[in-house]
């Protein structure tokens, strides 16, 4: 309840004073959709599309595989909430810290390389490591490393979409959301087809 009130109070309201009828809102929605679709196939968006796709698919893969195969099977389902809460807190803190560090000293390409190394290290560790109940601490370390990678990439990719499409913030964020949603849908269809044919 408190969060809803804070959003209502603190969020900048962009409502127009004149009342829009339903035809005006419909016209704006259709116009915005066509603008987004036109921008979708521009070369610059096609170049950065894989970044939005990669971040979301890496998160989806980690969340599903890690919670299902590692946490639940080795120490029980009761720890999923605790470990994923820690994941979320670490993503938030690492986003704040990395933005501060980039403003002060480090370059964005180095941060992307660090994020990729962390992400691939976690996936390699998940392939090699056999979870046991005596090594429970690893179940806390892997999500921390993965969340740091996510915390590094998310603000930069959002800022990159914003800078590639200057003056078109709504279109830029729609395209980023499209890339992330496309990765979720493709992974969902893959899982459904995989379970159906196996």
Establish if 31 belongs to a structural domain.
no
Establish if 192 belongs to a structural domain.
yes
Percentage of the chain exceeding pLDDT 90: 4
Max mean pLDDT among 130-139, 148-157, 168-177 falls in 148-157
Establish if 11 belongs to a structural domain.
no
Establish if 151 belongs to a structural domain.
yes
Question: What angle separates helix 138-164 from helix 108-128, to the nearest 10 degrees?
Answer: 140
Cα–Cα dist 124/146, whole Å: 12
pLDDT at 14 over 70: no
Q: Using 50, 70 and 90 to split pLDDT, how confident is the model at 117?
A: very high
* Domain containing residue 95: 42-197
* Contact between residue 179 and residue 53 where contact means Cβ atoms under 8 Å apart: yes
Whether the CA torsion 145, 84, 182, 93 is positive or negative: it is negative
**What's the pTM value of the predicted model, to 2 decimals?**
0.73
pLDDT at 187 over 70: yes
Percentage of the chain exceeding pLDDT 70: 87
Establish if 98 belongs to a structural domain.
yes
Establish if 175 belongs to a structural domain.
yes
pLDDT for 42-70, tens place per residue? 888 788 888 888 888 888 877 877 887 77
Establish if 5 belongs to a structural domain.
no
Whether the CA torsion 160, 161, 162, 165 is positive or negative: it is positive
What average pLDDT does this structure show over 1-18? Answer: 60
Q: How many domains does the chain have?
A: 1
* Contact between residue 160 and residue 62 where contact means Cβ atoms under 8 Å apart: no
Establish if 32 belongs to a structural domain.
no
Q: How many CB atoms lie within 10 A of CB 84?
A: 16
Structure tokens at 39: 């921008």
Residues 6+ apart with CB under 8 A from 172: 161, 162, 164, 165
Query: Tell me, what's the pLDDT at 121?
Result: 92
- Burial (CB count within 10 angstroms: exposed 0-12, middle 13-18, buried 19+), residue 164: middle
Q: Using 50, 70 and 90 to split pLDDT, how confident is the model at 124?
A: very high
């Amino acid at each position: 309840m408190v969060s809803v009130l804070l959003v209502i109070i603190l969020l900048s309201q962009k409502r127009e004073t004149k009342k829009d009828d339903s035809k005006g809102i419909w016209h704006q929605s259709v116009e915005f959709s066509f603008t987004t679709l036109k921008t979708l196939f521009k070369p610059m968006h096609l170049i950065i599309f894989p970044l939005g796709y990669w971040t979301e698919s890496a998160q989806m893969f980690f969340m599903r595989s890690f919670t299902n195969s590692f946490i639940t099977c080795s120490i029980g389902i009761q720890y999923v909430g605790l470990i994923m809460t820690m994941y979320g807190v670490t993503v938030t803190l690492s986003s704040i810290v990395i933005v501060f560090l980039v403003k002060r000293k480090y370059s964005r390409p180095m941060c992307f390389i660090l994020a990729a190394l962390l992400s691939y290290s976690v996936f390699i560790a998940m392939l090699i490591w056999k979870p046991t109940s005596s090594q429970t601490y690893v179940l806390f370390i892997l999500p921390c490393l993965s969340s740091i990678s996510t915390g590094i990439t998310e603000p930069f990719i959002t800022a990159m979409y914003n800078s590639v499409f200057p003056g078109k913030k709504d279109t830029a964020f729609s395209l980023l959301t499209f890339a992330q949603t496309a990765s979720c849908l493709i992974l969902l269809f893959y899982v459904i087809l995989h379970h159906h044919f196996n």
